Structure 1
Amino acid sequence: MTSKRLLRLLGAAVLGSLAGASAMAQDNGYYYGGLSVGKSQARIDDERIRAGLLGAGLGTTSLSLDERGTAFKIFGGYQFNRYFALEGGYFDLGRFGYTATTFPTGTLDGQIKLRGFNLDLVGTLPISERFSVIGRVGAQIAKASDSFNGTGAVHVLNRNPSKRETNYKVGLGLQYEVTPSFLIRGEAERYRVNDAIGNRGDVNVFSVTLVFPFGRTAAPAAQPAQVPYVAPAPIAEASPPVQVVPPPPRRRVSFSADSLFAFDAATLRPEGRDALDRFMKDLSGLRFDAVYIEGHTDRLGSAAYNQKLSMRRAETVRQYFIAQGRFEAAKLVATGKGETAPVTLPGDCRGSAPTPTLIACLQPDRRVVVEVSGATD
């Protein structure tokens, strides 16, 4: 693949990530920076070295290779949404070399240093609440600085050739979110490089990376909810017999999770607080025996993650009711149902990738249900 074609593909991928950002965002976009340190490994073409010496009338009696080095990278990037980021940085792949002993008697020492700049598209696939798989593809401009030194029968014509060329790079790794402002990555990357005398090869880097997001906050929902909540109505109300106090009527209200929270978040939005305030006002004049709050999610993501998210959302609503002083804390019960009780039927929403179409189709499954047992005063 040529460098120009790679850059075109990279640009198209970035535009695609921007187009889908509003539908798939977990967080608002944010900038980040970081530092990566690790071990690098190159493959030196010893057969070509022997052939080059032989072409100069020299036989090779021994050849020692130094194919390992220390690499580091300093970088910054922008996280468009939960799944895509654009990242650029400066890298140093380390120093590699060889020493050849020749006949007639002589030696040839060769070394190469590789440094440059890269621009990557980074994809993130969450596998739990804190762990994610990351993959990257990008372009890099590396400067190869060679140095050669000959003794005895070996005469070097150009001691310090250098060359700068654009090539591709790819990578794969794991990311762990320690806190929203501190992430750790373990990555394996491959850089395609050319040295200054026509050799082509790959340098593999295995590194540990520290990432520091700046000003990371929860994202707002893509669109405001059209209907904040469903008006409460009695589920069942039996006609009381004469001189018998009727049992408290049960009122069950289902709130769309998208009207209360941002996608994949558990912090109440202003519209969500307004909806809950209207709900409490509508119940004025009732005394309450119990209030049951159930959180539900769609099937996107792992079952364990969805269970935790549904519980966090139910607990957020419970805490809001307590803070407003309308309900007694002892009478509020919050539970998380995760993805176990969907509203949509099997086959209604096909697919498993979190596309905007699938997220919209599964919207009825994302909800918070409040059931009140009470009686009029």
Structure 2
Amino acid sequence: MKKTILAAALLGGTMIAGAAAAQDFDNRWYVTGTAGYNFQDNDRNTEDTPFGAIGLGKQITPSVAVDVELNYQNPATTRNSDLYWHQYGISVDARKFFMNDKNWRPYVVGGLGYQYHSEEVAALDNNGPTHRKGGNLAAKAGIGLESRASDRVRVRTELAYRVDMDDEGVSPNFDGSADDKDSFGDLLASIGVVVPLGALPAAPVPEAPVVAAPSCSDLDDDGDGVNNCNDKCPGSAAGQAIGADGCPVPVSIDLRGVNFDFDKDTLRPDAIEILNQAVEVLKRNPTMRAEVAGHTDLCGSDSYNQPLSERRARVVYDYLTANGIDAARLSGPTGYGESRPLENTPQTLPACKSETNRRTELNVQN
């Protein structure tokens, strides 16, 4: 009997120790109702019989539940059908579930309890039956399957073996003397319902995602169209003409550097870089209008220089419109020939070759 008690205790302890770490699960208290059939140990000289049980339990981890259960059975004796025999008890059962995320969950069960018995024993002196009453420890182990019928009801089917440590059993010789057995084993086949109490636990509220603070490249505090990283003049006044660095620019566009080789009307690489800056200024100031004007140096005749200046103005005009500047914002292109030099040079070679005079200008017309 000591070995039986030790084995049952180890089974229950192993199941609880092996429980999964706590996480979100249905941890409501529940009540159980069970009906089944008790296949009695033949050495008891009792008939197999139905049994019933009620209990109270709780899922303590996602994979382990603990129930306290009361059971009752009333088998007939094979010795004398007129003699009564009944048994009832209490047990604490632990169930270890598998496949926790499924609607069908197999499990193993182990438990310890106390069984009380009361029976009539025929007396040898014909003075009527005597009574034998008592209680003893019991241990249970088995397997089962739990199905989720709904959020309100679960169903368990179970097959278990219960060892009843009754060492005062009646001898099969019907003489009322005790036999040498120290326990009886019953097979229990049952089906039961599990009914949770109360409302379902509220679903955990997901944590709000951590939103990274915007960087300076995403911010434009003064609304001038230049992000804070590149804005060297934060707080620029609304309505001002703003350059690529976020600072106000004069209401004029300086194209000095958009010069041409002698007797040429093609843009040089250094001129294209300056024109790209002019395009950015015009885009940031959509109300700005400008005249495209071309000029030459003092070399050559006026009749030659006039169409050359117009061609130079046309090259710049076409570049601006090709890069997104609306032609309606530009007047010209206008050629001024050699009539507006910035340097007064002689009109003879080589002194007349002035790169400063060979230029194109944007004259703001707001």
Q: TM-score, normalised by structure 2?
A: 0.47
Bigger RCO (CA 8 Å, 6+ sep): 1
User: Higher strand fraction: Structure 1 or Structure 2?
Assistant: 1
| Larger Rg over CA atoms | 2
Larger helix fraction of residues: 1
